[in-house]
Each structure stands twice: as structure tokens, then as C-alpha cells.
Amino acid sequence: MEYIKIAQVPDAVLHKKGNTVKGVLHLTTHHLIFTLPQVETAPRGSQELWLCYPMIERVTFTKGSALLYAPDKDESFQLTKGANLRIICRDYTFLAFDFKDVKQCNDVFESLLKLTCVNSLENLYAFLYSPVKIEAPLNGWKIYEPVREFARQGLKLNSPNSSSEHPGDKMWRMSNINESYRVCTSYPSVIVTPASISNSVLHHASKFRSKGRMPALTYYHKYNGCSIIRCSQPLVGLKQNRSMQDEKLLLEVTKTNDASSVLIVDARPVANAIAQTALGAGSEIVEYYPNAKKVFLNIDNIHVIRDSLNKVTEALKNTDISMEPPNQDLLIKSGWLKLIYTVLTGLDMIVKSLHLNKQHLLLHCSDGWDRTSQLAALAQLLLDPYYRTLEGIMVLIEKDWLSFGHRFNERSGHLQSETKFVDNSEYSSTNQAQHAIKQVTTHFRHRKHVKYTSPIFHQFLDCIYQLLKQNPTIFEFNERFLRRLLYHLYSCQYGTFLYDSELERRQAKVSEKTRSVWDYFLARKSQFVNPDYKRLDEVVYPDLSKISFWYELFGRTDEELNGFLNESSASSGNIDTSLYYESQTKNETTEMGIKLQETQTLLSQVELKE
């Protein structure tokens, strides 16, 4: 409570979706609560707005009323009095609070900063949360069990201690090489590998992959015996290094069925992969891998994804004080839909290669925990109807996102940065020079932390949203499930998404000290089930001509966010929006070719030192 400079502000004014209401603002240890005057006929709880601090994305402190920034503002003297806080939330809720007194506003601002920017994950709400009655008997931590799940996929596995020299009739085995996480700190404790591959080969193969993330099976397609193998980029470098163990591992994968070929899928743009060569990494030299081909998917990195979604947020920023349509020019320039289109295009190729062309897939990006997790999980969603059930999507996320080490804490920024709190008020208890120095120091201290945040999991859920809209009856879960899952990614009410790896979760004992997010959904299953669900056992492919903004998430109507797409479709007489994304990327493709040529020239000038 020492962080709370002011616990209650009467007569605060809330602006939300163009509506204005007066009430009382409360600051508690873990929540901001805004209460309206009590109305006897109103249901209990309906007169309150609760905001947990980890949901805060940005707070701006400015003198005057927030309505000064409204497009249709009243140029009255009253709007220049007092001060306001405008808050952007990570679930795209936009709020603004007006305060009569500038000091009150400053105290709330500084309290929010301290309450939001905690210095340890153990200080988050998840470690104090006590489950409500309907959640108490559940245990979502047990929903995924590797042996059970791979058996469900159709694999007959040798035990972790079986000899690779006598695999018998089983083509795969579960290895315990990483049970203490010494080979790879970001991988699960058990991995599936060809039965003919020994732990010694795995250990040497891990040294040839970034962060030790060796090729490991994540999905077995029982219809033709093909597989999805995931890993990180190889450490090829300028010397064109190779690994006999890595090559042998991939060769043995092709021997697990009669497919005999493998497609190496590098999710990155070609120029990015080549640039990594100068840093000691890079992409596979295909000549060293028998019966292998390689493709690049040109999916952009975490920084491009973050910047793109920030532009979408900028287009919606006045949602607190106005319900005018968002800035469609900014929506188009954000490039968000083009990024979704690129992922789904790569996904389409992956699913067809495995299911129709009978190719094993080796899938990676750079470190193998961002784009790799997206593509591997999305592919399984289309290949296996089980993952389209409510239980299945939970198992899929546990397997391909959590156990394979997507860096949820780092990407989500649970330990918030003070740079997200912007003071434009010129109000300070110290002189302005000291205040400016403090802001600059804070900026540099937190810049590195912010650099590695990125909405990778958000983009994954957005891709599922596109598939759900295209195929409204084949998913057991509904759109609300995706929206609430994104909310709880950031809420820090549950322990599931707090850490960066299975190892970190075990060290923090999250299954003992916190609740699983799946308890929330399983306890309220009726809210998240699609009433039109009809199981479809066939493989599904994305429709690249139907991609649109997730308007429900952004709190807008379909027409407000997708009107420009609908108008384009109507004028052309079809709904093929893929033409829009293709034209949007034409100039970028030319630019990438120029950058690639420049990169190759740069690399040719680097002197190799023996």
C-alpha cells in the first residue's frame, strides 16, 4: 500500500466510447475500480468498472479535460481546467479520467506507475489470486501430458530409456536427454525423436542449433505418417559449418515412413536469414541434407509485428472520448492484415506439403519460439480435428507454445516499462530540469526491455480468428474464447503465461502457487462453446481471399474496421481481398530484393579469419 499516494478520488469523470459519467475512482493493491452512484434497480456489480494493472498498455497525463482531444470538442473554458489521464488497455479498452485537481491526477498517475511496473513476477496478482467456487475443483495444469498426447496422435513410442540400436517396430521414441534441462533450457524435459537416433547424436545435434534447440517432433500425421519437426536456425556462419549429427537426424526422420523427403521451411525473409550468417547462424545448406528442399516464407520479425499493431492502436486511440470511425488511412498503413495474410499463405503451403505432397517438415525461424510456434500450432489446427475442440486448443497451446518455450514474459512485457507512462502535464514536485533528467534515465533503463516485447501470441489468435470466420462450424470454441484468452495473456491473474519456459515455471512452482488459465475456461465452458459446431474430420485449408480486421476485439463494428475492404469487394464484384494484400507487398518485394543484394555484397566483403 506504500505505493498508493491516493486511494480514492470522488467526483472523477470517466470517458469511454464517447460516453461521460461521474463516479468514484479507487486504487487498490491490484485493481483500479471506478464506481458509479448506486441505483437501486441496477444489478449488483453492474455499477463498477474493474481494471487490473497488468492490462495497462499506456497512460498519458495531461492538463485539462480529455475532451480537449475530441474531434467535436466544445471550445469552452471549462475544458482547460484540471487534468486528465488517458489509458490504453492491452485488450483495446480505451479509458480517460478527468480530475478537478491537477495534484490529484498526478498522485493517481504516480500510483498507477508504481502499481503497474512491478520488479518481480512473484508480485503479480496470480500469486495472490484465490479461485472462485466454480474453479476450485479444477486443475488445468494436468490438461497436457506428453506421452498421452503423442499416443493420441497415433505414435507408438519406445520408452525414454530404450536403446536406439534395437528400436523394434517402433519408429519413434521419447528421449529423456533434456530431463534436467541441461541440453536446452528452453525445451521441454522430454522430446520425441526417431527411434534410431541415440541421445549422443541428439546432444551433438543440439550444438549445431541456436540456443541448443535441436530438431524435435511436435506432430505426427497418422493419415500418411509424415511429421512436423521444429527447431531453431542452424549455426552455419560464414565458414559454412555443417553437422553430421544434425544431417543424420533429419535423414532418419525420412525413414520413419515411405515419404522419404523433407521440406525445410524457414519462416524468415531471405535477407534476414542471410544476415544471420554474418552473426554465426543462418539457414541450412540443402546439399548436405539428402532428399531435402527448402523454402522461405518471408514472415517478418517481432519488431515489424509490434510496430504494425501499434499503428492499429494509433488509428483507434480516440475510442475513449469519441465514437467517430477510426482513421482508415492509418489502418491500411499499419500493414497488419498483410502480416496476417503472409502467415496464412505460409500455413497453406505447409499443410498442403505435409498432407497432399507427403513431405516431412522441418520448421524454424531464428530461435524457434515465435514464428515457429505460430506455424506449427496453426498447421496442426488445420490437420487434426482434435485441436479444433475446446480441450484440443488448450492442449495445443500447452504443447507448442508453453512446453517448447515461447517467451511469454519477455514478449508480453509482464514486468511493465515506465516508458509507457507519459507525463505531458509539466507538473512535478521537483524542478523541470530534474524531472527531464529522470525521464531520460528511465527511458534508457527500460529501452532494452521494451525492445523484445511483441504481440506474437496475439497474431496467432488473430490467425485462428480468420480461420474461424472462414469455417464457422468446424471449431468447438467460439470467438469469445479467443478474446478472453488474449485478455488473460495480459491479466496476470493466472500463472500459465507468466514465464518464458517449462524450466522457469518449474523453478517458480507455478502449478503449486498459482492457478491455470484453463480453470477459468473449463469452469465457464458454456460461454465459450460454438453452438453451431459440427466435427469435421477432413483437413482444412485457409481461404486467402477472406481476411479482415478482428473488429470484436477492437470494440468496433465490422463496417467501421473493414468497410474499405467491403467497398473494394463490392466494386470488383467479388470478395477476393488477397489482391489487396498482394498489391500492398509488391513494392516491399522489390525493396527486399535490393536489400538482399546489398546483404550478399556485404557478406562477400567480410574477411574470413581462420
Q: Is residue 349 part of a domain?
A: yes
Residue 349 main-chain phi, psi, to 5 deg:
-65, -40
Residue 308 main-chain phi, psi, to 5 deg:
-65, -45
Residue 1 contacts residue 84 (beta carbons within 8 Å): no
According to the annotation, is 300 in a ligand binding site? no
What pLDDT does residue 85 have? 97
Which grid cell is 325? 470511425
Do 434 and 463 lie in a common domain?
no
Do 79 and 211 lie in a common domain?
no
Q: What is the C-alpha to C-alpha distance for residues 285 and 596, in angstroms, rounded to an integer?
A: 17
Do 374 and 423 lie in a common domain?
no
Do 351 and 425 lie in a common domain?
no
Q: Is residue 132 part of a domain?
A: no
Residue 510 contacts residue 418 (beta carbons within 8 Å): no
The number of residues making up the chain comes to: 610
What pLDDT does residue 39 have? 62
pTM: 0.90
What pLDDT does residue 86 have? 96
Do 442 and 500 lie in a common domain?
no
Q: Is residue 587 part of a domain?
A: yes
Which grid cell is 573? 464484384
According to the annotation, is 367 in a ligand binding site? yes
Q: Is residue 568 part of a domain?
A: yes
Could you list the beta-strand ranges (E) of 301-447: 360-364, 421-423
What pLDDT does residue 78 have? 67
Picking from 402, 432, 451, the residue at the C-terminal end of a domain is 451
Q: Is residue 515 part of a domain?
A: yes
Do 498 and 538 lie in a common domain?
yes
Q: Is residue 123 part of a domain?
A: no
Q: What is the C-alpha to C-alpha distance for residues 597 and 594, in angstroms, rounded to an integer?
A: 5
Residue 561 main-chain phi, psi, to 5 deg:
-95, -30
Do 80 and 181 lie in a common domain?
no
Do 95 and 230 lie in a common domain?
no
Range of the domain at 40: 8-117+418-451
Give tens-digit pLDDT for 96-138. 999 999 999 999 999 999 999 999 999 999 999 999 999 999 9
What pLDDT does residue 74 have? 59
Three-class DSSP category at 568: helix
Picking from 430, 451, 472, the residue at the C-terminal end of a domain is 451
Other beta carbons less than 10 A from residue 446's beta carbon: 18
184 as an active site residue: the answer is: no
Q: Is residue 608 part of a domain?
A: no
Residues (pLDDT < 70) of the chain are: 1-2, 39-46, 71-78, 158-169, 427-449, 566-610
Q: Is residue 295 part of a domain?
A: no
What pLDDT does residue 212 have? 98
Do 263 and 344 lie in a common domain?
yes
3-state secondary structure 462-484: HHHHHHHHHCCCCCCECHHHHHH
What pLDDT does residue 68 have? 85
Q: Which of 477, 508, 481 is nearest to 408 (CA)?
A: 508
Helices (H), 161-301: 199-206, 244-254, 270-277
Do 522 and 588 lie in a common domain?
yes
Do 113 and 164 lie in a common domain?
no
CATH of the domain at 90: 2.30.29.30
Domain tally for the chain? 2
Do 91 and 157 lie in a common domain?
no
According to the annotation, is 365 in a ligand binding site? yes
Please identify which of the residues 105, 184, 226, 365 carries the catalytic annotation. Answer: 365
According to the annotation, is 302 in a ligand binding site? yes
According to the annotation, is 301 in a ligand binding site? yes
Residue 19 main-chain phi, psi, to 5 deg:
-100, 150
